Amino acid sequence: MMTAQSTAVGAPAVEVIPVGGLGEFGMNMMLVACGDTALLVDAGVMFPEPELFGVDLVIPDVGALDTYKGRIAALILTHGHEDHIGAVPHVWPHINGPVYGTAFTLAMVTPKLDEHGVDHDGRLITVTPRQRIEIGPFTVEFIHVTHSIPDATALAIHTPQGVIIHTGDFKIDQTPLDGERFDLHRLAELGSQGVLALFGDSTNADAPGFTGSDRDVIPGFEEIFSSAPGKIIVASFSTSIYRMQVLVDIADQFERKVAFVGRGMIRNSEIAARLGVLTIPPGLQIADSDIRDYDPQDILCLCTGSQGEPMAALPRIAIDDHRHVKVEDDDVVVFSARSIPGNEKAIARVMNHLAKRGADIIIDGMKHVHVSGHGSAEELKLVLSLVQPRFFVPIHGEYRQLAQHARLARAVCPSATVRMLEDGDVLRFDAEGAKVVDRVKTGRILVDGTRMGEVGDEILRDRRHLAGDGLVVAVVAINGKTGELERTPEVIVRGMATDPRQDELLREAPGLLERALGEVPREERTDPGLVKERIRLEVQRMFRKRANRRPLVLPVVLEM
């Protein structure tokens, strides 16, 4: 086996190009190329900032893959989180071969491909830890790591220049719920043989100490279950399967029925249960429609919406707009997830609505109800110490996390060369070492339902949207205290060619919008964030159904 210290003279160069995930949280994607063969590692999304009206997802600019058109022989997935698999349907046309991933990872990808009408028959290849696959000049080895989702792996990519290790997302959980421990032994073996480069997850590089096990939340939740007089509603990420398992086990212990609420929570729990990575005792689970048939003290709801997303389950519950779940006095609502930067205001609004309904709100810090899935500084140091790479590149995080991980690497591996990269940098490994030799065009694509915005910032995206279907400004005056409409809404159209059918819609639109807003709960109408989202959805629905148009909708709410 060729080692990092004994690279064969004349071996072809290897290029590594981060397409997304450096200097940002999300959109993780990386190309590894040698000769006529390239591999794509992960294809993730980022969730949009609130000011990106109508944008559902942000994905890396797939145009960056055009440079390697016809050469991308496989897509390798490290695990099943959205920031690593959410863009798979969008990069699919660029992949000239199979997609490799563990069983649970591919189970999370399959529905996405089906929703986009992608024919994936025979192209999704399941792999297991320690398995090796050969792709052109590469041999890719999967190494089991612990994370907040089952079947997570790191990658050891054996190249003509030496071994490149990509950690994926990880923490070092010594007591994992599924008993599958981090394969530190294999990392140590590779380190002793010589590793050319380590690309390491930096998400929690600025957090001291150790992250802790998923089991660490059990005492906090047991305390909540032992004292809660009403329903317990827990909001978390729908991919947090280990958190689901902890809560299911505690609900069984305290004789509470479990209801999964929200499309993502229901779908992912079904997938996890089918694959055996989530165990639900017989008779414990009920449908959300059956909640009303039980006493509140006998119910646990696991729901989506921990980030305050307007159309997710918990925000709808908070304004009494969910068909099956109502918040009452003595109910306990637990936010069992970290706040993604930028979502603080939306989360606070949801908490305020819940408090108005008499709920007892618990967040991490009040009780230990959340633990990260990413390794803190001491875990990052341990991996660096085991691997001892010649070159180190921090990935996955904003620049401050990347910079802190680089400092850790210089302390642990003083002989290693640290390379700080940006998305689009072409890092070439050859007989002379490793250096950035070029840049490829990178950026963002803003995904709005079935429509894509232009690559780049919000202005570029809006210009393309305006050119296609015009602009609709919906002006609504609302009493900030009562939620009542002060006057009939105004609907103003710009940049849209009209015909008689659209003229009729423009005459009727203010009345239609007034009636639609009159049907929503008062608390939603007094919340500017929620009412803007409602206006946007209602106006989009009108123009799509009546005029077959998808204009950019700009809601303007005047609080009187």
Structure tokens at 246: 């902890």
Looking at the domain assignment, is residue 489 inside a domain? yes
Looking at the domain assignment, is residue 2 inside a domain? no
Q: 456's torsion region: left (phi>0), alpha (psi -120 to 50) or beta?
A: left
For residue 331, what is the domain's CATH number? 3.40.50.10710
Q: Which residues pair with 484 in a beta bridge?
A: none
Alpha-carbon distance of 382 to 146, in angstroms, equals 14
The residue assigned the tokens 């070492």 is 433
How high is the pLDDT of residue 130?
A: 97
Does 82 lie in the same domain as 49?
yes
Which pLDDT tens digit goes with each residue over 469-508?
Answer: 788 888 888 887 788 888 888 888 887 666 666 777 788 8
Strand order in the sheet with 332-335: 285-286, 257-261, 299-303, 232-235, 332-335, 360-363
How high is the pLDDT of residue 172?
A: 98
Q: Please give the average per-residue pLDDT across 390-415, as a whole number.
A: 97
Does 109 lie in the same domain as 204?
yes
Which pLDDT tens digit goes with each residue over 431-445?
Answer: 999 999 999 988 888
Residue 352 makes CB contacts below 8 A (sequence gap 6+) with none
Does 327 lie in the same domain as 414?
no
Q: 320's torsion region: left (phi>0), alpha (psi -120 to 50) or beta?
A: left
Alpha-carbon distance of 190 to 385, in angstroms, equals 12
Q: Is the pLDDT of residue 558 over 80?
A: yes
Which pLDDT tens digit goes with each residue over 364-373?
Answer: 999 999 999 9
Residue that terminates a domain, selected from 363, 387, 410: 363
The residue assigned the tokens 């009159």 is 518
Q: 500's torsion region: left (phi>0), alpha (psi -120 to 50) or beta?
A: alpha
Does an H or E element contain 434, and which?
strand 433-439
Ranges 10-19, 117-126, 322-331, 536-545: which has the least confidence: 536-545
Looking at the domain assignment, is residue 455 inside a domain? no
Whether 269 and 260 have beta carbons less than 8 Å apart is answered as yes
Burial of 273 by CB count in 10 Å (0-12 exposed, 13-18 middle, 19+ buried)?
Answer: middle
The residue assigned the tokens 């030799």 is 437
Which pLDDT tens digit goes with each residue over 104-161?
Answer: 999 999 999 999 999 999 999 999 999 999 999 999 999 999 999 999 999 999 999 9
* Coil vs helix vs strand at 490: strand
Looking at the domain assignment, is residue 462 inside a domain? no
Q: Is the pLDDT of residue 273 over 90?
A: yes
**Average predicted confidence (pLDDT) for the chain:** 90
Q: Which residues pair with 190 in a beta bridge?
A: none
Torsion of CA 396, 397, 401, 406, to 10 degrees: 30
Does 357 lie in the same domain as 288?
yes
Q: Predicted confidence band at 360 (pLDDT cuts at 50, 70, 90)?
A: very high
Counting residues of the chain whose pLDDT is more than 70, the rounded percentage is 92
Residue that terminates a domain, selected from 315, 346, 363: 363
Q: In 506-532, which positions are buried (b, 16+ CB within 10 angstroms) versus exposed (e)?
A: beebbebbeebbeebeebbbbbebbbb
Looking at the domain assignment, is residue 180 inside a domain? yes
For residue 406, what is the domain's CATH number? 3.60.15.10
User: Which DSSP state fits 146?
Assistant: B
Looking at the domain assignment, is residue 272 inside a domain? yes
Alpha-carbon distance of 100 to 80, in angstroms, equals 12
Burial of 74 by CB count in 10 Å (0-12 exposed, 13-18 middle, 19+ buried)?
Answer: buried
DSSP code string of 307-319: T--TTSHHHHHHT
Q: Is the pLDDT of residue 359 over 70?
A: yes
Residue that terminates a domain, selected from 363, 387, 421: 363
Whether 197 and 392 have beta carbons less than 8 Å apart is answered as yes
Q: Which domain, by its residues, includes 483?
A: 470-559
* Coil vs helix vs strand at 402: helix
Looking at the domain assignment, is residue 457 inside a domain? no
Does 344 lie in the same domain as 197?
no
Does 220 lie in the same domain as 204?
no
Does 248 lie in the same domain as 141?
no
Does 410 lie in the same domain as 290?
no
Alpha-carbon distance of 167 to 153, in angstroms, equals 7
Does 388 lie in the same domain as 359?
no
Does 107 lie in the same domain as 221?
no
Looking at the domain assignment, is residue 21 inside a domain? yes
Does 42 lie in the same domain as 190?
yes
Which pLDDT tens digit goes with each residue over 158-217?
Answer: 999 999 999 999 999 999 999 999 999 999 999 999 999 999 999 999 999 999 999 999
Structure tokens at 25: 């949280």
DSSP code string of 435-477: EEEEE----EEEEETTEEEEESSHHHHHHHHHHHH-EEEEEEE
Q: Which of 179, 182, 153 is nearest to 168 (CA)?
A: 153
Structure tokens at 356: 């108005």
The residue assigned the tokens 């719920």 is 177
CA Rg value for the chain: 25
How many domains does the chain divide into? 3
Q: 35's torsion region: left (phi>0), alpha (psi -120 to 50) or beta?
A: left
Q: Please give the average per-residue pLDDT across 353-379, as a whole number.
A: 96
For residue 442, the tally of other CB atoms under 10 A from its CB is 21
Does 182 lie in the same domain as 44?
yes
How high is the pLDDT of residue 456?
A: 43
Whether 325 and 261 have beta carbons less than 8 Å apart is answered as yes
One-letter amino acid of 69: K
* Coil vs helix vs strand at 421: coil
Opening angle at CA 18, ends 453 and 437, nearest 5: 115
